[in-house]
Amino acid sequence: MPGSIYVKHVADLPRESRRQGAYERTGVVMDAANLSFVWVQPDLYEGQTDADGQAPGHHHPFDQVVYVIEGEMRMWIGDEVHDLRPGDVAYIPRDVPHGGSPSNGKPVHVMEIFAPIRTDYLYIAEHQLADGKPERAPDGSRIDRRPLQEIRAAAGDSRLTTHAQQHEAGHP
């Protein structure tokens, strides 16, 4: 999908913030998967856990890997409960219910990898996908003010044609 090298420090990437900052994430997209960096505060699910203290869960049609960077979390995957610490990794097959939250009263920082690409998460990688692109106008559009030759060179293997060329080739 992106097809170009992208190098940044994770701390410098813009983050989506939810629930008054108790959940933050950013992302990077690859050709066949995407990854999210997630920061979760211990009070994210306060008042929403079940009788066993488990966080609410979900499932999705994507394979997922969770890698704990910092902190500790309790994660349930299917019928199993796992206590994860820094360096631990969990693989969650597509459509398997799962959920998790910080387990020791401290924040947790994880990296998640999803395959195939979660198109619903592409917006958290906008910083990468827009890298080198024109700035957005207030209405969200982009106006490319580069000369046509520069645009053609940047298009790579895309074929830019004129209306006359299309007509000559028999396309209306």
Q: Where do runs of H (alpha helix) occur along the chain?
A: 126-129, 148-154, 163-168
Return the closest-CA partner of residue 43 out of 86, 83, 100, 102.
102
Taking only the tens place, the pLDDT of each residue in 83-137 is 999 999 999 999 999 999 999 899 999 999 999 999 999 889 888 887 777 777 7
Q: Does pTM top 0.85 for this prediction? A: no
Taking only the tens place, the pLDDT of each residue in 35-73 is 999 999 998 888 777 777 777 889 999 999 999 999 999
